[in-house]
Amino acid sequence: MDPLDIARWQFGITTVYHFVMVPLTIGLAVLVAGMQTAWYRTGNRRYLKMTKFWGKLMLVNFAMGVVTGIVQEFQFGMSWSAYSRFVGDVFGAPLAMEGIVAFFVESTFLGLWIFGWDRLSKGVHLACVWAFSLATVASAYFILAANSWMQHPVGVEMVDGVPRLNSIWAVLGNNTALAAIPHTVLGCFAVAGAFLVGVAAWKIHSRHRAAPALTDPAADEDTREDRKLWHTSMRLGAWVGVVAFAGLAITGDFQAKLMFQQQPMKMASAEALCHTEQPASFSVFAIGDVARPDCENVKSFTVPYVLSYLANGELDSEVKGVQELIPEYQERFGTHYPDDPALGKMAGQPIEYVPNLPATYWGFRFMIGFGSVAAAGAVAVLWLTRGGRFPRWRGWPLLAVASIATPFLGNIAGWIFTELGRQPFVVAPNPDPSGVDGVWMFTAAAVSSGVSGGEMLTSLIGLTTVYAVLAVVEVFLMVRFIRGGVESVMPPEKGEDDDDDVLSFAY
């Protein structure tokens, strides 16, 4: 196998896997901080129990996010050394900033939070969880600023054929980044919201089937309190899901408009829009083969005017299609890769300017589709559980558990779309006249030329194997803690004659 293909597969797999772990951590961290704040303000033990329970699940997941994140940072140098040399002057800065400003805070204050329950005053302990959770959001900001630069390079000038940073504010304030950050962070909240709903619905179903109404007079105080805890968690999750989706729709629309300007080929591919249209229709779904850029054999169900509106905010504007964009790209960047041995099997080959059409077309649809399903589910939950109700239908907790997957799938689809849609470029060229000319790089030119295919294959196999095993372990642990409920995360109450020296928490 060609090193380029393996390096791309490895980057894709490790990045998607990392981004399955990270959104749940970010979303849960902020929600747990909120729960602990509620406990701090009201003294209500229900919020303490919620903090401990959801906090424990967050920790089980956090470990995986951290360890898979290290791979990401090393991978640029190991597998993509040509890329690292080309963009290091600008791309390395947000990465270093993430480490110094965000990652140190995250890891240090998380340790203080986990082990500090009886060592720190309540207020300081609460500040630790906020420091941790806000730092996870700050991390996301720096990483997305770096990623957005690859989608829309700004703040640089070309010196001796290499982009050199001339404004860090342009990079950190890149409009692509400012659109991507709220969209991605809201995606994290959608994930955490669905997780709360699914888990809490399951808990209510498995423990309180006999008492569907919150006000059942037959139940004793403990049972009722337990029931209330899950009910509060479930409603919180559903509200978070609904609000997150509303935000996702707004930021997604804003992001799409930017993308039509900055990466027209990506959006044309997302729509399988083969020929320029005016006004352009939005394709809801397609039957047939969307892989061919000439659009034969495709029957697409469309809504007129919507794509024009998505692209420019006007109902009858022109949107360029794939067929018209190809010659524009060929004119600017050539029809063939340079005949340079560093490009491996791509040397001298014709350049394919259209990204993988099925992946971009369906990636875009799955992102929106799964997000909408999650949002509809959250609205349904809010309606069905109003006033302490809990539906008697046996199938619905299963449905709630299954729907945990929907925002995850939406996130994954979104990333696959946004990264594959950039191909064949690793640093996408800037069509925007205000952008810097000449700042772009082919993915084929970015791979490490000193590294053999065997090494890459070893790491692809090694990492995917370890990732697969750990995914099983994480799910196993999550299920155990969910089954164990609040009792399994609250330390037993200390008796009068217990030794005060015993730590409140230890590994």
Partner 1 sequence: MDLPTVWFCVIALLWLGYLFLEGFDFGVGMLLPILGRREEERRVLINTIGPVWDGNEVWLIVAVGATFAAFPPWYAGLLSAAYLPLLLLLLVLIGRGVAFEYRGKVDTARWRRAWDIVIVLASWLAPMMVGLVLTATVFGLPIDVDGNRVGGPLVILTLVNVVGALAFWGFSLLHGALFLSLKTAGEVRERARRIGLQWGLPLLLPTVALVLAAQVGQGHAWTWIPIAVAGIVSVLAWWCLHRWREGQAFALQGIGLAAVVVALFGTLWPNVLPSTLDPTWSLSIEGAASSPYTLAVITWVAAFGTPAVMVYQGWTYWVFRKRIGTHHIPAVHAPS
Residues 463-492 that bind partner 1 (CB under 8 A): 463, 466, 470, 473, 477, 480-481, 483-485, 488, 491-492
Q: Please, what is the minimum distance in Å from the beta carbon of residue 492 to partner 1? A: 7
Contact region with partner 1 (CB under 8 A), list: 84-92, 305-313, 360-368, 426-434: 84-92
Q: Which of 9, 12, 16, 78 binds partner 1 (CB under 8 A)?
A: 78
Q: Which of 12, 16, 40, 88 binds partner 1 (CB under 8 A)?
A: 88
Q: Toward partner 1, which CB reaches closer, 88 or 279?
A: 88
- CA end-to-end span of the chain: 44
Structure tokens of 461? 């196999």
Q: Is 498 helix (H, G, I), strand (E, B) or coil?
A: coil
User: What is the pattern of x (binds partner 1, CB under 8 A) and - over residues 349-378?
Assistant: ------------------------------
Q: Which of 31, 32, 64, 368 binds partner 1 (CB under 8 A)?
A: 64
Residue with tokens 């239908």: 393
> Quick one: residue 272, left, alpha or beta (phi over 0 = left, psi -120 to 50 = alpha)?
left
168 touches partner 1 by CB under 8 A: yes
d(CA 28, CA 373): 21
Residue with tokens 């060229």: 429
User: What is the pattern of x (binds partner 1, CB under 8 A) and - over residues 8-47?
Assistant: ----------------------------------------
CA distances from 462 to 41, 261, 465 (A): 48, 40, 5
Q: Toward partner 1, which CB reaches closer, 164 or 389?
A: 164
Sequential DSSP letters for 173-234: T-HHHHHHHHHHHHHHHHHHHHHHHHHHHHHHHHHHTT--STT-TTS-HHHHHHHHHHHHHH
d(CA 313, CA 191): 29
- Could you tell me how many residues of this chain bind partner 1 (CB under 8 A)? 85
Q: Which of 268, 274, 290 is nearest to 323 (CA)?
A: 274
Q: Please, what is the minimum distance in Å from the beta carbon of residue 194 to partner 1? A: 23
Q: Toward partner 1, which CB reaches closer, 285 or 476?
A: 476
Sequential DSSP letters for 428-494: ----STTS-TT--EEGGGTS-SSS-HHHHHHHHHHHHHHHHHHHHHHHHHHHHHHHHTGGGTSPPPP
Q: Considering just the CA atoms, what is the radius of gyration of the chain in Å?
A: 25
271 touches partner 1 by CB under 8 A: no
Q: Please, what is the minimum distance in Å from the beta carbon of residue 166 to partner 1? A: 6
Q: Which of 398, 468, 475, 503 binds partner 1 (CB under 8 A)?
A: 503
Q: Which of 12, 116, 431, 435 binds partner 1 (CB under 8 A)?
A: 116
170 touches partner 1 by CB under 8 A: no
Q: Please, what is the minimum distance in Å from the beta carbon of residue 148 to partner 1? A: 17
Q: Please, what is the minimum distance in Å from the beta carbon of residue 444 to partner 1? A: 16
Nearest 5°: the CA angle 499, 505, 507 is 120
User: Interaction with partner 1 in 446-465: which residues (CB under 8 A)?
Assistant: 448-452, 454-455, 458-459, 462-463
164 touches partner 1 by CB under 8 A: yes
